[in-house]
Amino acid sequence: MKKSRILAVAGVVLLASATLAACGSSKSSDAEAPKAYGYVYSADPETLDYLISGKSSTKIVTSNGIDGLFTNDKYGDITPAMAEDWSVSQDGLTYTYKIRKGVKWYTSDGEEYAEVTANDFVNGLKHAADKKSEALYLAQDSVKGLADYVSGKTTDFSTVGVKALDDYTLQYTLNQPEPYWNSKMSYGIFWPLNAEFEKSQGENFAKATDPTSLLYNGPFLLKALTAKSSIEFVKNANYWDKDNVHLDTVNLAFYDGSDQESLERNFTSGAYSFARLFPTSSNYSKVEETYKDNIYYTPAGSSTFGIGVNIDRQGYKYTSKTTDEEKTSTKKALLNKDFRKALNFALDRNSYSAQVNGKDAAALAIRNLFVKPDFVSADGKTFGDMVAEKMASYGDEWKDVKFADGQDAFYNADKAKAEFAKAKTALEAEGVKFPIHLDIPVDQTTKSYIARIQSLKQSVETVLGTDNVVIDIQQVSKDELNNITYYAPNAAAEDWDLSGAVGWSPDYQDPSTYLDILKTTNKANTKSYMGYDNPDSAAVQQVGLKEYDKLVDEASKETKDLNKRYEKYAAAQAWLTDSSLFMPTMTGAGAAPVISRVVPFTATYAQSGDKGSDIYFKYLQLQSKPVTKKQYEEAREKWLKEKAEANEKAQKELASHVK
């Protein structure tokens, strides 16, 4: 959360992904199947404006109420929603969509308001541009003329390459071919907005706690949102595809992470349809005994969490530093690549993950690259394989390192000490005084998150020595943590040296969906990951981030040969990995022990976008009894076979739309 969802604090979001356990295709024959889904959410939205917010806290509320052109089916292939049909020109620059006729906008009370037309999609993108959407990076360099409109070079939106040719025909004109363009359409910035309703609402449009401040054309209507309490949805009885909506209600309860056992208790009582379990919790042995045939592990998700490094800290309200000398020494240390690499190699990710998954299953959740290593493949190699090949040029410390999920590619005390020795020599020459004190804030109510950061502290201080590095954990309230990380308005408010409160969920099926967000021009994201929002600052120059920009831009220009494109993005990921400016730790969802009443593989499946199974409840079916491990494994085997066949068919189908 983009992420896409720029994800909330890691300690909570790992729990908020209710349906990853169920992403595909079996049907339930359970005559007593419940129609009410219940689970948790972890952060209140600042706004319901799905066109301007990139945060998961908004998306979990709005994704079920608004349909864009496409969604994802049970096998991860894009499937039409508001787009009944579409075509793309031979040069790959013009996409034309036929809008489904007769689909209506409804109020939160279910009253018909107007028909959804192509003009609503044009108005939606105009609203996003005018309001400087957090997700503009997805559109402004892609849609012809949009960058000039956003910058103010032009003031007439009709010059932008999105047109309503008539009420039911929408057309986008791109600057260059994007073979993954349609996968972007499941992301909020491209969703429709009724202009008349927007105008009637004025400043109250998309107000954070007011369901009446939005219109809905999706499978559910938002009925109520009470801050730090609950979110309530009801089925949209007039939804165009209502036969594929199997739930009557969805109720999400606010969860702050302070009572891990409450998830299982509420599942057992029937209030929750799903529960993420914690092998480190005090009652796990009892839960394991009760549900011995029902506990299974979900696949690793595509979102990535890690440790951000603040290269330009400005505020020191939450700090253990007592002198300006300590502040200056820390800043100089974090600008030193060898120092950052020493931290990266000193971080024991198995121990870090074990604080959530337990020792035996710790490795399942480890993520070593910002881009999920198997997110894309080419020439028989995964993206992670390509990165490993590029890393050899960065030094012997990267020789033979593999980056696949499920193992710790980094933790190595000898490498950490060697990198630190180089850093210390250089830093002492600059007048830096040791130990270096590193502030890292944590939500004092989230036990698993605190445990992870304590694990980080222990491994780093043990490997490097407290005479060299001290991790100062700052325990703050959830709101305080959000205000200095997740919801910080600018870099000046990012009050930390290291932050575990950063994560990303991909928007579309291409490595650029991860790597683009860390370009120096994307200040809405760079402030959260690296603590800066001035792309021309001295800190940016010193750590060489302009070289990263160059690598990403070079990759983006390769639109004809996907193999070459992925190789170039692998080069950008390799630079990022060696820089240690962001240190991945875990997947943000999945790879977790769960118990569930969700029929296995009935929900949508997606590695990207805002219609993923973690927040989208269309298609999802429930059963009256908990899923057994055997049932899940049999369903997964069947689904994987069907998925391979469906994906191959979908690739052939794509070609038929080129006109």
pLDDT of res. 277: 93
Length of the chain: 659
Report the half-sphere exposure of 635 (CA within 13 A, side-chain side): 23
Kindly report, residue by residue over 600-651, the tens digit of the pLDDT: 999 888 878 788 777 899 999 999 999 999 999 999 999 999 988 888 888 7
Share of the chain above pLDDT 70, in %: 95
* CA–CA distance, 410 with 347 (Å, rounded to integer): 8
Is the pLDDT at 15 greater than 70? The verdict is no
Share of the chain above pLDDT 90, in %: 78
pLDDT of res. 2: 39
- If asked whether residues 92 and 212 sit together in one domain, one would say yes
* CA–CA distance, 541 with 366 (Å, rounded to integer): 31
Instruction: With both helix axes pointing from N to C terminus, report the angle between 324-334 and 413-429 in degrees, rounded to the nearest 10.
Output: 120
pLDDT of res. 20: 39
DSSP string, 362-428: GGGGB--SSS-TTSSEETTEEHHHHHHHHHGGG-GGGTT----TTS-SS--HHHHHHHHHHHHHHHH
Residue 305 and residue 368 in contact, taking contact as beta carbons nearer than 8 Å: no
DSSP string, 290-353: HTTTT-EEPPP-S-EEEEEE-SS----SS----SHHHHHHHHHHHT-HHHHHHHHHH--HHHHH
pLDDT of res. 537: 96
Reported confidence tier of residue 14, pLDDT bands at 50, 70, 90:
very low
Is the pLDDT at 18 greater than 70? The verdict is no
pLDDT of res. 1: 38
Residue 567 and residue 602 in contact, taking contact as beta carbons nearer than 8 Å: no
Is the pLDDT at 12 greater than 60? The verdict is no
Q: Please give the tally of structural domains in the chain.
A: 2
pLDDT of res. 390: 97
Mean pLDDT of 234-246: 97
Task: Say which DSSP state 209 is in.
Answer: T
Among the ranges 18-27, 329-338, 637-646, which has the highest mean pLDDT value?
329-338
Reported confidence tier of residue 29, pLDDT bands at 50, 70, 90:
low
Q: Is residue 3 part of a domain?
A: no
Angle, CA 273 vertex, CA 361 and CA 354 arms, to 5°: 15
pLDDT of res. 30: 65
The span from the first CA to the last CA of the chain, in angstroms, equals 36
Q: Is residue 17 part of a domain?
A: no
Is the pLDDT at 596 greater than 80? The verdict is yes
**How many helices (H) and strands (E) would you count in the chain?**
21, 22
- If asked whether residues 560 and 635 sit together in one domain, one would say no
* Cα–Cα nearest to 569, from 400, 402, 387: 387
Range of the domain at 246: 30-298+594-658
- Mean pLDDT, the chain, rounded, equals 92
* CA–CA distance, 220 with 230 (Å, rounded to integer): 16
Task: Say which DSSP state 262 is in.
Answer: H
- If asked whether residues 402 and 506 sit together in one domain, one would say yes
Token reading at 5: 């969802």
Q: Is residue 11 part of a domain?
A: no
- If asked whether residues 384 and 484 sit together in one domain, one would say yes
Q: Is residue 556 part of a domain?
A: yes
Higher pLDDT, residue 290 or 32: 290
Token reading at 323: 């002198």
Is the pLDDT at 27 greater than 70? The verdict is no
- If asked whether residues 82 and 223 sit together in one domain, one would say yes
What is the chain's Cα-based Rg? Answer: 24
The CATH number of the domain holding residue 563 is: 3.10.105.10
Amino acid letter, residue 296? Y
Is the pLDDT at 237 greater than 60? The verdict is yes
- If asked whether residues 578 and 604 sit together in one domain, one would say no
Reported confidence tier of residue 338, pLDDT bands at 50, 70, 90:
very high
Q: Identify the three-state secondary structure at position 177.
A: coil
Instruction: With both helix axes pointing from N to C terminus, report the angle between 413-429 and 337-346 in degrees, rounded to the nearest 10.
Output: 150
Task: Say which DSSP state 76 is in.
Answer: S
* CA–CA distance, 621 with 617 (Å, rounded to integer): 9
- If asked whether residues 354 and 491 sit together in one domain, one would say yes
* CA–CA distance, 106 with 77 (Å, rounded to integer): 28
**Coarse DSSP helix, strand, coil percentages of the chain, rounded to the nearest 5 percent:** 35, 20, 45
* CA–CA distance, 73 with 20 (Å, rounded to integer): 14
* Cα–Cα nearest to 579, from 528, 606, 621, 540: 540
Q: Is residue 12 part of a domain?
A: no
**Residue that the structure tokens 């400087």 belong to:** 132
- If asked whether residues 484 and 404 sit together in one domain, one would say yes
pLDDT of res. 31: 66
- If asked whether residues 85 and 155 sit together in one domain, one would say yes
The CATH number of the domain holding residue 646 is: 3.40.190.10
Among the ranges given (525-534, 544-553, 588-597, 634-643), the one the predictor scored with the smallest mean pLDDT: 588-597
- If asked whether residues 354 and 258 sit together in one domain, one would say no
> Cα 425 to the chain's mean position, in Å?
38
pLDDT of res. 73: 86
Find the helix or strand (DSSP H, E) in which 263 lies.
helix 261-269
Q: Is residue 1 part of a domain?
A: no
**Residue that the structure tokens 């986008």 belong to:** 172
* CA–CA distance, 262 with 277 (Å, rounded to integer): 10
pLDDT of res. 17: 39
Residue 192 and residue 168 in contact, taking contact as beta carbons nearer than 8 Å: no
Question: Of 564, 586, 608, at which residue does a domain stop?
Answer: 586
* CA–CA distance, 510 with 138 (Å, rounded to integer): 12
Residue 546 and residue 540 in contact, taking contact as beta carbons nearer than 8 Å: yes
Q: Is residue 20 part of a domain?
A: no
Cis peptide before 435 (omega within 30 of 0): yes
**Residue that the structure tokens 């024959």 belong to:** 29
Question: Of 539, 555, 586, at which residue does a domain stop?
Answer: 586
Among the ranges given (8-22, 430-444, 604-618, 645-659), the one the predictor scored with the smallest mean pLDDT: 8-22
Return the bridge partners of 174, or none: 143
* CA–CA distance, 313 with 475 (Å, rounded to integer): 19
Kindly report, residue by residue over 179-231, the tens digit of the pLDDT: 889 989 989 999 999 999 999 999 999 999 999 999 999 999 999 999 999 99
- If asked whether residues 50 and 120 sit together in one domain, one would say yes
DSSP string, 410-444: S--HHHHHHHHHHHHHHHHHTT--SSEEEEEEEET
pLDDT of res. 26: 41
Mean pLDDT of 308-325: 97
Task: Say which DSSP state 24 is in.
Answer: S
Cβ-proximal residues to 165 (8 Å cutoff; 6+ apart), any chain: 96, 118, 171
Cβ-proximal residues to 287 (8 Å cutoff; 6+ apart), any chain: 264, 277, 281, 295
* Cα–Cα nearest to 17, from 281, 282, 252: 252
- If asked whether residues 293 and 308 sit together in one domain, one would say no
> Nearest 5°: phi and psi at 441?
-80, 145
Cβ-proximal residues to 366 (8 Å cutoff; 6+ apart), any chain: 349, 350, 353, 405, 406, 407, 408, 585, 586, 587
Among the ranges given (167-176, 243-252, 609-618), the one the predictor scored with the smallest mean pLDDT: 609-618
Find the helix or strand (DSSP H, E) in which 552 lies.
helix 545-556
Q: Identify the three-state secondary structure at position 132.
A: coil
* CA–CA distance, 218 with 604 (Å, rounded to integer): 14
Q: Identify the three-state secondary structure at position 95.
A: strand
Return the bridge partners of 443, or none: 476
* CA–CA distance, 311 with 542 (Å, rounded to integer): 10
Q: Is residue 338 part of a domain?
A: yes
Kindly report, residue by residue over 118-153, the tens digit of the pLDDT: 999 999 999 999 999 999 989 999 999 999 999 999
